[in-house]
Chain A
């Protein structure tokens, strides 16, 4: 089936004219038609536009012009502004919003010949770890519990639609964003590779802002090599994002073939949390053994401030969100709720447009930035953030990369972890520190739990050394031989 191909294999097949780009795109559009009504992975399917892009790809291929992603059908998280295609951020607030411009990352993908199938569902404004906060409904994880195939599991979040789409073979790859784990945790829940590159590697221009110092665009794919192909196209300097790094983009795909012989891999002891499922601990040990067998040296390291990462994040991220989301005022774009005077218009628009989790975070952010509390909360959090970065800097003085679990559990069911916001926040325990420090990290599918659900291992690297992250991720991928398939998939 064309929908089962990797991006690398599809690239070769298109070049060899085994099939056309239109064939490939149509296969995915048919899969979306069949499965999206159930999975709800896409908020918007841009059928006609995708077919046009695929036709253009075939013209380019016929002329012998193949770029990195010519004719490759992708899902785009509905947080990336796409010119002329509605961009909702998973919120009622942006339900009428059609961007008149293209985000830098999606423009780069289009430049490299990619086909956009549509806009993938997500937690509202990327705030969530389950995709349950989307104003466009929850997403179903294509994976099922072996013992209970009636339970509807979450795909993780916030990039839940992207993960479900790639996992169910509705797209060959996808874009996501990761502010506290929003690429890596859904990748782990859906049996995918998800990469959060270094802060500054991918431009944030045209990505609906959540927390600007923590937001990282990155790719989802079914193999490490495919994620490397996607990241290379997405990355690069952008003068329109003042935090974009002016550095050359390495050949990430070549880095996948480097091997890990002689690399020093740190095992952060603080990631071994109480109450962590035995299976995740065992998988982590398995990963250590795999890397040792592949020639890496394993080193015990300490990141002493790890346990403060989440609480720090839940000050910094809401503070930045409260500031970023101030723009939604019902005047210039987005939804409007009319009221008496201007202030009433603002207050009604924002009460109506934001869901409960977004409102909660705006209020927390407003409070921690407000007069009298700034030092006690925000300034303290920024100082602890400095300590968390120092932990990584110290560790990377001794090792080339770190290995840890991605998430403290496998996918949970819709409705679980919903009663207490903090219970939901704990999903990001192992992923948040890399956002606070800005260091690159990937989740690689490494095994299944007793229910037959995927579990990921996380590889964390030095700033702007995604190449080592790809090398280590490939070693895990080769050792894990993860071949399990989700129950719900195209042709399945």
Chain B
């Protein structure tokens, strides 16, 4: 599988990363280089193998469904690039 320019633009759009026109060709080349190298995995027989999602090898722990944290908006908002009161500010999304 080889990526074309349109696919690179689509992936960048899905990832919400702005890519300038002059960056598409070099990115396409780099990504195809990596994906081409990854193709070697196709030679492995994976029939009847269950996928491994992680190395933890344990059941997900459960806890009581109670609030254990929170109640400090100043700390939460301290790193906001822009705020008004206890709110984050973003460009208008509803006309």
Contacts and interface: CB of A to CB of B under 8 A. Distances in A.
Interface of A: 96-98, 100-101, 199-200, 212-214, 239, 242-243, 245-246, 305, 307-308, 311-312, 314-315, 322, 326, 329-336, 338-348, 350-351, 354, 359-360, 362-364, 366-367, 370, 373, 376-377, 379-387, 389, 420-422, 435-439, 463
Given A362-B17, A386-B50, A308 B44 contact: yes
Contact of B79 (A97, A200, A348, A366): A97
Interface residues of B, number: 50
A370 B44 contact: no
Contacts of B93: 341-342
B49 A387 contact: yes
Contact of A383 (B12, B15, B49, B82): B49
A208 to B, nearest CB: 13
Contact of A422 (B37, B61, B91): B37
A407 B52 CA distance: 26
Contacts of B55: 199-200, 213-214, 389, 435-439
Closest A-B pairs by Cβ, 7 of them: A438-B55, A382-B51, A333-B79, A336-B81, A213-B54, A347-B18, A386-B52
Nearest to A378: B51
Contacts of B42: 380
A385 B44 contact: no
A341 B91 contact: yes
In this complex, the member of A101, A212, A333, A389 whose beta carbon has the largest number of chain B beta carbons within 10 angstroms is A333
B4 to A, nearest CB: 12
Nearest to A239: B63
Nearest to A310: B37
A346 B14 CA distance: 11
Given A350-B17, A384-B44, A385-B52, A242 B11 contact: no
Interface string B16-54: 111100000001001101110110111010100111111
Contacts of B37: 311, 314, 422
Given A239-B63, A243-B58, A354-B17, 9 more contacts: A329-B16, A330-B81, A340-B91, A346-B16, A360-B31, A362-B15, A363-B11, A373-B1, A377-B38
Contacts of B58: 200, 243, 245
13 contacts: A212-B54, A308-B41, A334-B81, A350-B15, A363-B17, A363-B27, A363-B31, A373-B1, A379-B51, A383-B50, A384-B46, A386-B50, A438-B54
